[in-house]
Structure 1
Amino acid sequence: MQAKFQRNVNPASHRRSLKWLWLLLFCILLTVGAAFAAVLAAVDLDRVPKGVNLGEWDLGGLRIEAFHDHLEARIDALLHQQIIIQSDIDEVKGASFTLKELGAAVQADKILTDLHDLQQGSWFERLRKHWAMRGSAYSFQVAVDEPLLKQALEAEWNMLTREPVPARRLINERDEVVYIPEVNAYRADLKRLSREVQAAILLHTDLPLTPPPPILLDLPIVTIRPPVTVESLRAEGIERKIAEYTTSYSGSSAGRVHNIEATASVINGMILAPGDIFDYEQIVAATEVEHGYREAPVIVNGRLVPGIGGGICQITSTLYNALLRTDLEIVERRNHSLPVGYVPLGLDATYATGWINFKFRNNTDAHLLIKAETKNHQLTIKLFGKMPSSITYEVSSKVVEIVPPPVKVVVNASLAPGQEQIIQKGKPGYIVETHRKVYEHGELVRTEWISRDTYRAQEQLVAVGPDGAERDQGDGDGSGSLPDSDADPDAHPDTGPHAGGKEAPVEDGIQSTF
């Protein structure tokens, strides 16, 4: 049989246990309440939580309402902080600015937002946020307006607005090549300076409200060099004057003087890089556009007649003679159909629009500078470049044949029988050869053949009386055309006065405007 046990509970003992239980619960509640009261006493929800910092500024315990006023004063003090900017450049002496003048702006939006949020919601929610914010570190938000920064700097130092000045190469009165150095320009490195200003603000957020010592900053400078420097000019290799030649145009008409001087002004200062070709047709076109050409005698069909641009071949002839005293390559050159008075026979170079051009190539490894000067009715062309000073040239031309003028006879009934009258005096033609001697250190090293040129004879026109009509009237055609190609080794095969149906070329002038 299973035994059954029954626990006997003493009512008095049970009551004592409940009494102690309730006493314990009351003590716990009293302790919690006291602790909570202590928390309430320790936490003021209207103050910034302990341990909160804004930069180097400890805000813990500061009343939130007062913080706003303090923050405004602190930002104002920061913006009026003196900054002295200095530089190693002589023209940029130290100058003082406030951070505000340099375009700085300071804000503390994040902490303001969090403090505003701290005051929103239920009491318990505010307490939770307050507790969570304890020990938080905030920083100022700093920005610099670069246009304002640039404006402040340039107002103090106008040299920061200057443009760079390129170097120049000049030829002095002794025909020496001299250089005027370039002038660099300077600009403030705004992005770098902006970063340094911001860093200066963040490092000094704990400054007292009374004016502290100025903050020193170096002005970061960007140097702007011009595209042309003395170094780049020297690299072109124009070392000295290598040749020159002078011709006179005294006694020329006003139109011819204008044409020569206008064309010379376009050529003056022209630079040819290695391999470049001088093309006179382009020079004539540019002169026509810039200055226009005036009326002066030109050569048409072997005769001097009024035309436009007369005199422009004095430029090519003078330049040609200068070139003959160098080793530069002549690409295209023709002599006039008639002799000219400003250079010896065989040393002229003509031009005829669309027919004859004058070209040469810079076949050196350096640049070539052409100077064309007009003074006292003298044209001087000087060439500057690179050529061994030990090499010199001597140019000479020689008439190898004189061509007698053809005679054309016409009948003049007003003359007595057998009477003759010269209406137009003829002029002989010439065949000329030009040579050049090359010297090195004064010793002749070679003689070069340059050209064989033909100048057409001008016909003589004779009138005779009626009974002299049977006289031989000659076979001169008076065309005055350019030399035949078999008489001139440089002649073009299609350059006769009416070749290909073209009209006769205009030498020493222009056929038409450009």
Structure 2
Amino acid sequence: MMKKAWKGILGLLMAMTFTVSAGRMVYAETVDENHEVPDGVTVNGMELGGLTVKAAEDKLQQYMDEVCGGSVTLTVLGEDVTFAYKDFDMHAADSTVVQDICQIGTKGNLIRRYKELSDVKNNKAEFTLKFEYDHNKLKKVISEKTESYNKEAENASLVRHSGEFIITDDVTGVKVDTDATTAEVEKALGDGWDGSSQKLDAVVEETKAAHTSDELKQVTDLLGGYSTDYSSSSSNRIANIANGASLVDETVVYPGDTFSFLNHVTPFTAANGYYQATGYSGGRVVPSTGGGICQVSSTMYNAVLRAELEVVERSNHGLTVGYVPLGADATVAEGGVDFRFRNNLDAPVYIEAYTYGGQIYVNIYGHETRASNRSIEFTSVTDKTIKPGDDVITKDDTQPEGWQEVTQSAHDGYVASFYKKIYVDGSLQDTVWINTSYYSASPRYITVGTKKESSDDNSDQKEEADNTSGDKKNE
């Protein structure tokens, strides 16, 4: 046994060169590309013992290239998405491992070195080559490769055409959870990874639509409707009413939600389909873009009352209007006065608005729960009439004295109350106050001429009169 040990030590000495430093002998192993890896050494399961440094490095490089040339395949909604390890900078953590393992048995005294070599040969020395990658790049690659699969949830929709309700089903939204999917990939590439390509499922989150087709299937009944006449209006005003009706048509208001008229019909601009027409401003009838839109809001107000939904905001006009009774109007003004109602029912309501034959129609559909023997009607009561004040005169020095033009007729003012009457089996059961509206009286507005006749005009008239007089005498 001792002879065998010394034989090994002598062999080790033959593999050494000696140098003199500071007057003493030291050992230095020459580790070049022809040096052999000690027997019993494995790296990631590969036997490297007995190979030269060059051969071991070549074998290890081939292994690293194979590993880094691998890929990750994610299954997303039944489809595979593949990307390479190199896309997120996969690389060996320490590619000098061959140089490191060649140092075995080259440090310390001869006996220690021999013991290291003997231990490696008899017990095997297993080394693991670690791989690293860029975490942020991995996350970015996953996000980019799976982005096309992300889909927002879509609510069901409802339209009414030719007297029939048409429902488009809701769509469930899906989204790849990038953080969770990245964590799964890193887990697969962690402890126990054999360097092979990996295939796993992406982590996908589903988002249900806020409103489903089942909700909309409840909309089956006409809850309330109203129409007003605009046949005597100008073409621009008629166009504005039709445009406003189209902007609120096909709107669904879900339980608890509040409908804002202004949010649907503004801005009052040409780009949004409006024209110049007359409207009220400061107690005067003036041209305005969108003139006539209040007939749409007022018609809707009456439909809402008949559907018995909760009115949140409503204001009467400053002056009376002719298309609804006193107290039945609802004025709006961009940036200020709105008409709003809340769906206080347990099912969605659907707004239908359209124009036809000189009339605007607004109907509200939903799920009827009121008793069939119950009915309602609305009445307007004038509490007070206010007479207009004196004429408002505007002078125009471009028109002669004696000329005048009425620019706005006088209007009485009113205080009016609006009521809902409730009947059961035709018998009045209750009268409910809805609102009291105040309409200002408006005086007559007149423009009169103030231009005086010039002296030259008077002289010409006098000369003409004298000539006429002379002729008569001559007759």
Question: Shorter-chain TM-score: which interval?
Answer: 0.5 to 0.7
Q: CA deviation at 1:138?
A: 0.9
- Structure 2 regions of 5+ residues with no counterpart? 16-34, 392-405, 446-475
Cα offset, 1:141, TM superposition = 0.9
* Letter of the structure 2 residue corresponding to residue 233 of structure 1: H
Q: SS of 1:343's equivalent?
A: coil
1:117 aligns with: 103
| Partner in structure 2 of residue 180 of structure 1 | 170
Amino acid in the other structure paired with 1:55:
N
Q: What does residue 376 of structure 2 align with?
A: 394
The separation in 1 between residues aligned to 2:67 and 2:318, in whole angstroms, is: 88
Deviations 1:349-403 (A, max 9, x none): 335789x945555272658667464455754444466662546653343677997
**C-alpha deviation, 1:71, in angstroms:** 1.5
Matched residues in 2 for 1:88 and 1:300: separation?
60
Residues 28-427 of structure 1: pairs in structure 2 closer than 5 A: 35-41=5-11, 46-80=35-69, 85=73, 87=75, 89-90=77-78, 92-93=79-80, 104-106=90-92, 109=95, 111-118=97-104, 124=110, 127=114, 130-131=117-118, 135-145=124-134, 160-173=147-160, 174-175=164-165, 178-186=168-176, 189-197=181-189, 202=194, 217-226=198-207, 229-230=208-209, 232-234=210-212, 239-240=218-219, 242-257=223-238, 259-260=240-241, 263=244, 286-287=267-268, 291=272, 294-299=275-280, 304-307=285-288, 309-336=290-317, 339-351=320-332, 357=337, 359-362=339-342, 364=344, 371=351, 373-376=353-356, 379-383=360-364, 388=369, 390=371, 393-397=375-379
| 1:345–1:397 Cα contact (<8 Å) kept | no
Distance 2:177 2:270 in 1: 40
Q: TM-score, normalised by structure 1?
A: 0.57
Alignment CA distance shift 1:403-1:109 (3 Å): closer
Name the amino acid aligned to 1:89.
L
Computed over aligned residues only, the root mean square deviation of the Cα atoms, in angstroms, reads 5.3
Change (3 A) 1:346 1:80: closer
**2:7 aligned partner, one-letter code:** A
Q: Any idea what SS the aligned residue of 2:330 has? A: coil
Partner Cα distance (1:244, 1:182) in 2: 34
Q: Matches of 1:38 and 1:84 in 2, distance apart?
A: 48
1:255, distance to aligned residue in structure 2 (A): 4.0
* CA offsets 1:48-79 (integer angstroms, 9 cap, x no match): 33332222223333333421222122333444
8 Å Cα contact 1:109-1:141 kept in structure 2:
no
Letter in 1 for 2:6: F
Q: Does the Cα contact within 8 Å between 2:223 and 2:368 map onto a contact in 1?
A: yes
Give the Cα–Cα distance (whole angstroms) in 2 for the partners of residues 87 and 56 of structure 1.
30
Q: Aligned residues, how many? A: 398
Q: Which amino acid aligns with 1:192?
A: E
Identity of aligned residues (%): 24
Conserved 8 A contact 1:293-1:309: yes
Q: State which drifts further: 143-152 or 251-260.
A: 143-152
8 Å CA contact 1:429–1:458 kept in 2: the answer is yes
Output the CA distance in 1 between the equivalents of 2:281 and 2:141: 70
**Residue type matched to 1:137 in 2?**
E
In 2: Cα distance, 1:145 partner to 1:408 partner: 85
Query: What's the TM-score once normalised by structure 2's chain length?
Result: 0.61
Give the CA deviation at 1:36. 0.9
> For each residue in 1:452-478, what CA deviation from the matched residue of structure 2 results, as whole angstroms up to 9, or x when unmatched?
6677888899xxxxxxxxxxxxxxxxx
1:146 positional shift: 5.7
Amino acid at match of 1:58: E
Which consecutive unaligned segments of at least 5 residues does structure 1 have? Answer: 1-30, 205-214, 410-422, 462-514
Distance of 2:420 and 2:88 partners within structure 1 = 73
Q: 1:49 to 1:342 in 2, by over 3 A?
A: same
Pair 1:84–1:310, CA change in 2 (3 A):
closer
2:29 counterpart residue number: none
